[in-house]
Every structure is written in C-alpha cells, then in structure tokens.
C-alpha cells in the first residue's frame, strides 16, 4: 500500500516528534498519576517514513508499539542507566523482527523506517498527554550522554 493512501485513509496529521499520527482510542476511564488525572489508555496509528523519522523524546508512561505494515522499523532507546538498546520491528519474525515492543516510561527513544515507510500502532498507559511528552534537545542529551553523539546527531531535532 502507498504511504500517502495510509495518511489520507486515516486523516493522519504531522506529529511534533516526526512522522504522522491519528488517534484511534482514548479511554473514558481516568486514573490518578503523579502528574494529575490521565486517561487510562490511548492508542494511535503512527506512520514513519524515510524522510520523517521520530526524533528523541520521552514519556512519563510506558508505550507499546505494534507493527502493522511496510518496512522494518528501528527503535533506538537510551535507558536511565545510559544503556543503548536497538530493536527492529517488522514482518519477518524468522529474522528476529518484533511484532510488538514496549518502551518503558522515562527512556529516551527515537525510531526510523528501514525502508520507504513503517506503519505501526502505539498504545500508551496511563494515556498520552502532551504535558507528559518531552522532546530531546541535542545539547542537553549530549551533555548527559557524551559517548552517544553520533546517535544523537542522527536522531535529535536541534
């Protein structure tokens, strides 16, 4: 399927971190968090293209990724203990691709399609709220993770 058809089909919008998204679910159930009340869960369709990567950011909630269609997707994480983790999601389970993957709250992460596009779903619990979303600034992350400048150069906006 053509990526523009997917964007049109789901009326996807540009996401501040990169890529395109469309919210598909927002739980009516509210839960208390340390940041205030949040929906119990949210879900989106997310399309990442070779020209629109998802730049380093972090959330205050866990985020589950679900691979649907297209080319393999690479997720790059930096854990609070400064460990670098790279995970490949995709259609080829026999090659070790993951069809589902979870990024824990507090990890810095970015992602990129390893081809023309990757169409995935993301589920956040407690639910996504832009108040709990932080974009990574290259200088700040470089100061914190000086041995990862090459990765930060590739996946930070500034």
How confident is the prediction for the chain on average, in pLDDT? 96
**Distance between CA 86 and CA 90 in Å, rounded?**
13
Q: Percent of the chain, pLDDT > 90?
A: 98
Residue 158: band (very low, low, confident or very high) from pLDDT cuts 50, 70, 90 = confident
pLDDT tens, position by position, 116-153:
999 999 999 999 999 999 999 999 999 999 999 999 99
pLDDT of residue 90: 98
**Distance between CA 111 and CA 10 in Å, rounded?**
21
Predicted model pTM = 0.94
Domains in the chain: ranges and CATH: 3-155 (2.60.120.10)
Distance of CA 82 to the CA centre of its chain: 19
105 by Cβ neighbours in 10 Å (0-12 / 13-18 / 19+) ranks as: middle
pLDDT of residue 1: 87
pLDDT tens, position by position, 27-52:
999 999 999 999 999 999 999 999 99
10 by Cβ neighbours in 10 Å (0-12 / 13-18 / 19+) ranks as: middle
Note whether 97 and 62 are within 8 A (CB). Answer: no
Q: Percent of the chain, pLDDT > 70?
A: 100
pLDDT tens, position by position, 54-90:
999 999 999 999 999 999 999 999 999 999 999 999 9
pLDDT of residue 14: 95
**Distance between CA 86 and CA 75 in Å, rounded?**
6
Residue 18: CB atoms within 10 A of its CB come to 22
């Amino acid at each position: 399927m053509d990526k523009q058809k997917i964007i049109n089909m789901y009326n996807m919008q540009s996401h501040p971190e990169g890529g395109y998204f469309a919210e598909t679910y927002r739980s009516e159930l509210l839960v208390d968090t340390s940041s205030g009340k949040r929906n119990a869960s949210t879900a989106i369709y997310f399309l990442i293209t070779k020209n629109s990567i998802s730049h380093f950011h972090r959330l205050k909630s866990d985020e589950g990724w679900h691979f649907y269609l297209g080319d393999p997707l690479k997720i790059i994480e930096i854990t609070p203990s400064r460990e670098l983790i790279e995970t490949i999601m995709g259609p080829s389970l026999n090659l070790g691709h993951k069809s589902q993957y979870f990024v824990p709250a507090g990890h810095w992460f970015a992602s990129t399609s390893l081809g023309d596009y990757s169409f995935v779903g993301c589920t956040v619990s407690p639910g996504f709220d832009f108040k709990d979303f932080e974009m990574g600034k290259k200088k700040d992350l470089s100061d914190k993770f000086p041995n990862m400048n090459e990765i930060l150069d590739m996946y930070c906006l500034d």
